[in-house]
Amino acid sequence: MNLLRINQFTDILVESGFGILVVFVALALLVLAFYAFGKISRYQFKKNKTKANQAKNIQPATIDEQDDEIPALEVAAIATALTLFFSDVHDEESNVITIKRIERRYSPWNSKIYGITNLHR
Amino acid sequence: MKDTVKKISFLLILVSLFVPGIMAQGTEETKSVWDSLIGFWGGTGFANFEFKYLIMIIVGVVFILLGIIKHWEPLLLVPIGFGILIGNVPFTPGYQIGIYEQGSVMNILYSGVIQGWYPPLIFLGIGAMTDFSSLISNPKLMLLGAAAQLGIFLTFIGAYAIGFTPAQSGAIAIIGGADGPTAIFLSSKLAPELIGAIAVAAYSYMALVPLIQPPIMKLLVPKSEQKIRMKPPRAVSKSEKIAFPIIGLLLTTFISPSAMPLLGMLFFGNLLKESGVTERLAETARFALINTITILLGVTVGASTQADRFLTWDSMKIFILGALSFMIATAAGLLFARLMNVFLKEGDKINPLIGSAGVSAVPDSARVSQDMGLKADKNNHLLMHAMAPNVAGVIGSAVAAGILLSMLG
């Protein structure tokens, strides 16, 4: 698969120039493809929506032109959630487990008086 | 008391019967026991110890600590760091222990790196966990992912200039793609002898993205441009999300078929996710499979850094070139974003800070763009926008790897 025999420095320069150009071409083609696909998709979406609105007797003027955009507040909320998720923010815990001793001197569970049989005198 | 006396007497009789026999055999066997003890000592890590192993062990411990304490790419640095410890315990060769000894367990696991089949499986998982919506909603941001690949090709020239062969130069240059699996895939094909150094350099710099990128971003993007607010991305339909992996695969691999193993798996993983009917497969790819391969890849790449093979001048040069490659890639992304702004009308302008995310290193570099954006304007969230060049960088670096492979392989 050797496209070019690389022996000299000039060949390396040509290779590099060619390489970056091909990367740009590949991604530029993807850009064009998705601009086109996006337009078709949005056109289809609007057409379907208009049909649905007509079926419900909603006037075209009331259709929000910005329907296909996510509201800015929603975007901010998603971005914040992602930041928190990526930065793994949660309560920092000390990891020290202590048992807090609570004395109940006369509790039925620890009182000696409940452990013996009380004889009626 | 009588019983005790009886027991002791019986014991004494037994000893008197067997000990002389044992002592008689001892004269011949003592030497071989001593030899085996010496042999045992000779096989220990202490007897084979050399200072260079200690250096690598310290490097391994630093990696582990950076992962645990600083949280820098812990999923990579902890396995790689531990792998470095495994690979640098001194041993006597010949017992099928070391990673470079044919048939050893580590050698078998390492075959996934050398044969290059771990990286495509990692890409399958990445595809199954990546949401390309931000990219689909604003396709022009894909160009930032292409611009950042300039680091690869300039480093290719630089590596050749300082004496590496063209194939080695190509393998080293891919560090600028900031994509560990791609770097391993390409170096396994072009320069297997450098794979350890290249992989460790690539992953180290990916972990160091929060340190490397911000100074370059501050230097190349004026304060006023750091505050640019971008238009919120539009909602993307399901059909667009399904079409993306199919169209993406066909377009990119028709141009660069050598990138097929990586891009094929990346887009396949994404189709599993977006199709909505293969959730079980997508789930396996994004959790069980990628986690398993990450463990194996990390440990074996770490273990491949055996001091006697790793601590060379070539490794030092690779580290320096890798750092340069990363910096150039970051700068290229930022400057290209500024260049794009010259041609974009007001309201459509992009914040140049997201240009640095084009280097790949998902999602760290996008996170750096977000953090820098928040520093300039605390209400300007760039993360969603930065994810577009970030994932475009993954595609761009895989295409670049394919091009280098087809030209130099």
Computed from CA positions of residues B137, B139, B140, B143, in that sequence, does the dihedral angle turn out positive or negative?
A: positive
In the 3-class helix/strand/coil scheme, how is A42-62 assigned residue by residue? HHHHHHHHHHHHHHCCCCHHH
pLDDT tens-place string over residues B37-60: 888 888 888 988 889 999 999 999
- Residue B383, classified by CB atoms within 10 Å of its CB into exposed (0-12), middle (13-18) or buried (19+), is buried
Nearest chain B Cα distance for residue A76, angstroms: 6
- Confidence class for position A1, pLDDT limits 50, 70, 90: very low
Select the residue of A31, A37, A83 nearest B142 (Cβ to Cβ): A31
Tokens of B335: 């400057």
> ipTM surpassing 0.90, yes or no?
no
Residue B108 lies in a domain: no
Nearest chain A Cα distance for residue B300, angstroms: 27
Residue B340 lies in a domain: yes
Q: Which domain holds residue B394?
A: 131-289+311-408
Residue B213 lies in a domain: yes
pLDDT for B214 equals 94
Query: A28 to chain B: nearest residue by CA?
Result: B143
Residues 6+ apart with CB under 8 A from A78: A70, B384
pLDDT tens-place string over residues A5-14: 456 788 889 9
Residue B373 lies in a domain: yes
pLDDT for B220 equals 95
Domain count of the fold of chain B: 1
Q: Assess whether the previous peptide bond of B257 is cis (omega < 30° from 0).
A: no
> How does the average pLDDT of chain B come out, rounded?
89
**Which of A36-50, B2-16, B268-282 is most confident?**
B268-282
Assess contact for B300 and B114: CB atoms under 8 A: no
Residues in chain B: 409
| CA A38/CA A69 separation, integer angstroms | 13
Tell me if B406 and A17 make a contact (CB, 8 A cut-off).
Answer: no
Select the residue of B152, B240, B255 nearest A37 (Cβ to Cβ): B240
Select the residue of B137, B140, B244 nearest A31 (Cβ to Cβ): B140
Please give the average per-residue pLDDT across B280-301, as a whole number: 94
pLDDT for B108 equals 94
Tell me if A12 and B157 make a contact (CB, 8 A cut-off).
Answer: yes
- Residue B409, classified by CB atoms within 10 Å of its CB into exposed (0-12), middle (13-18) or buried (19+), is middle
Q: Which of residues 27-86 of A touch B (CB under 8 A)?
A: 27-35, 37-38, 41-42, 45, 68-72, 75-76, 78-80, 82-83, 86
pLDDT tens-place string over residues B374-385: 999 888 889 889
Q: Is the pLDDT of residue B155 over 50?
A: yes
- Confidence class for position A3, pLDDT limits 50, 70, 90: very low
B145 reaches A (C-beta below 8 A): yes
B252 reaches A (C-beta below 8 A): yes
Percentage above 90 pLDDT, chain A = 14
Tell me if B396 and A68 make a contact (CB, 8 A cut-off).
Answer: no
Select from A113, A47, A29, A39 the least CA-distant residue to B256.
A29
Q: A69 pairs with which residues across the strands?
A: B234
Residue B53 is which amino acid? Y
Least confident of A87-91, B207-211, B244-248: A87-91
- Confidence class for position B89, pLDDT limits 50, 70, 90: very high
CB-CB neighbors (< 8 A) of A45 in chain B: 237
Residue B251 lies in a domain: yes
Query: A19 to chain B: nearest residue by CA?
Result: B403
Residue B154 is which amino acid? L
Nearest chain B Cα distance for residue A72, angstroms: 6
Assess contact for B384 and B134: CB atoms under 8 A: yes
Tell me if A20 and B149 make a contact (CB, 8 A cut-off).
Answer: yes
Nearest chain B Cα distance for residue A11, angstroms: 10
Better pLDDT: A109 or B371: B371
